[in-house]
Amino acid sequence: MKPKNFILIPLILIFLPSLYSQLRIEIKGGLDDPISIAVVPMQWSLQSKQDVFLHQIIRKDLESFGEFDVIPPKNMLSLPTTREEVFYKDWRLLGSDYLVIGNIIQSDNEIDCKVSFTIFDVTRERVIHRGTVIGPKDSLRRVGHKVSDVIYEKIQGIPGIFSTQIAYIDKPSAFDPNYNLMISDIDGYESLSLFSSPQPLMSPSWSPDKENIAYVSFEEGTSRIFIQKLSDAERIGIKLEEGINSSPNWSPNGNKLSAVLSKTGNPDVFTYDLESSSWSQLTKHFGIDTEPDWSPNSRKILFTSNRSGTPQIYEVNVRTKRIKRITFEGTYNARGRYLPDGENIVFVHRTQGIFHIATQNLKTGKLRILTETSLDESPTVSPNGNVIIYATKNGDKDILAGITLDGKTKFIMPSMKGEAREPSWSPLID
């Protein structure tokens, strides 16, 4: 993709990998009765002995959001590798609801490894899934995440998110005086600095194909939207318009961006066609319209506006440009984001002077406050719609935190180096 009128900009810093977990997940509250599962260390047929490592990845994944309790191998009564070796009564004695066994062999191309595994429902004494995951044997973390995704989906009924990534802004710190556009796996590993600048970076947004990230940089002394390609070092600057250029957000089909421009006077919501390199104005008001987000069907866009006197969330029909106010409860509602079902939104809601993350059903208008922390902002929703990550404060430090949509599991994601803001969750990619 190289739209017309785009400008190539050399990178200051590109693709610097982290050798450790930049972010880490710390569970602060989980389910009272999590699903008990036994993941037997898999039979290993490769030269390098890493079965324990792979088991640790899967275990950490499944326990990440407090939904599963993984039985450690030391507590297992046996270590079966075939269906014939599985005795259900042994696993019922351990209180296990599910059991996973498998083996790992080298693929025919000698580059990849193949993980074949079976998931058992212990209570019903039956196999619920036989699957195979193929991936690079020098990237077992990626392979383990894919196995975890399958296990999660077969048990919970919704896609797993352990292979997804988070983009965020790493703020200047004692470790690094620059702002960094970062991406990392959801467990914090495999972190990369995509771009670094002494001037502020803002508003990262993933393309639906997971190949590009749009964001805002102030390196030229004013706000400008850029697109960073993840396949190489190419960075594309969208033609600069006069005034504010901010809040880029990809359409679900990846053909357009929504953004906020002030070239006509006040900040309004525009769409940008990546093929024709043309802007179309959606809103026109003397107030401030900002923070657009596309609906899953691309027909509508949420945005924040103070046109009623206080920040509230509105929805504009992309075709007709008809505008509808969405939030009415409270004097501050902002940064609205659709959930994948298109029927609910998540946003920042202020109550009694404290900023929380809340959800609202678009049909009923029912509002539900999820978080108990203060100064919460910038919510982003997991592609399976089950988890929300947002920015908040831990003392005087900016950190990322999260909560499951049911509100039962809470966690924080402190940065090992600096301070993290403005998270953006990647889409699912098969």
Q: Domain ends where: 109, 125, 156?
A: 156
Q: What are the tens digits of pLDDT across the range 334-370?
A: 999 999 999 999 999 998 899 999 999 999 999 999 9
Residue 90 domain-assigned (yes or no):
yes
CATH of the domain at 314: 2.120.10.30
Asked if 226 and 152 sit in the same domain, the reply is no
- pLDDT of 50: 61
Q: Domain ends where: 124, 156, 188?
A: 156
Asked if 270 and 399 sit in the same domain, the reply is yes
The burial of 322, by beta-carbon neighbours within 10 Å (0-12 exposed, 13-18 middle, 19 or more buried), is given as exposed
- pLDDT of 370: 95
Residue 374 domain-assigned (yes or no):
yes
Contact between residue 45 and residue 275 where contact means Cβ atoms under 8 Å apart: no
- pLDDT of 15: 44
Asked if 42 and 13 sit in the same domain, the reply is no
- pLDDT of 399: 92
Q: What are the tens digits of pLDDT across the range 193-228?
A: 999 999 999 999 999 999 999 999 999 999 999 999
Q: Tell how strand 224-229 and strand 235-237 pair up.
A: antiparallel
Asked if 148 and 181 sit in the same domain, the reply is no
Which pTM was predicted? 0.90
Asked if 416 and 341 sit in the same domain, the reply is yes
The model's confidence at residue 7, banded by pLDDT at 50, 70 and 90, is very low
Separation CA 169–CA 275 (nearest Å) = 28
Asked if 250 and 375 sit in the same domain, the reply is yes
Domain of residue 142: give its range: 31-156
pLDDT beyond 50 at 240: yes
The winner for highest mean pLDDT among 44-58, 126-140, 242-256 is 242-256
The model's confidence at residue 179, banded by pLDDT at 50, 70 and 90, is very high
Residue 300 domain-assigned (yes or no):
yes
Asked if 419 and 325 sit in the same domain, the reply is yes
Amino acid sitting at position 302 = L
Asked if 131 and 191 sit in the same domain, the reply is no
Residue 164 domain-assigned (yes or no):
no
The model's confidence at residue 51, banded by pLDDT at 50, 70 and 90, is low
Residue 430 domain-assigned (yes or no):
no
Q: What are the tens digits of pLDDT across the range 394-426?
A: 888 899 999 999 998 999 888 877 789 999 999
SS (H, E, C) 92-161: HHCCCCEEEEEEEEECCCCCEEEEEEEEEECCCCEEEEEEEEEEECCCHHHHHHHHHHHHHHHHHCCCCC
Residue 2 domain-assigned (yes or no):
no
Higher-confidence residue of 21 and 39: namely 39
Number of domains forming the structure of the chain: 2
The closest of 57, 52, 44 to 105, measured between CA atoms, is: 44
The model's confidence at residue 3, banded by pLDDT at 50, 70 and 90, is very low
> From the centroid of its chain, how far is CA 173?
24
- pLDDT of 12: 39
pLDDT beyond 60 at 27: yes
Asked if 208 and 284 sit in the same domain, the reply is yes
Asked if 11 and 35 sit in the same domain, the reply is no
Higher-confidence residue of 154 and 191: namely 154
Asked if 11 and 48 sit in the same domain, the reply is no
The closest of 187, 147, 140 to 27, measured between CA atoms, is: 187
CATH of the domain at 40: 3.40.50.10070
Phi–psi pair at 185, nearest 5 degrees: -60, 160
3-class DSSP state of 58: helix
pLDDT beyond 50 at 333: yes
- pLDDT of 73: 94
- pLDDT of 173: 83
Residue 298 domain-assigned (yes or no):
yes
Asked if 403 and 342 sit in the same domain, the reply is yes
Q: Domain ends where: 156, 185, 204?
A: 156
Residue 165 domain-assigned (yes or no):
no
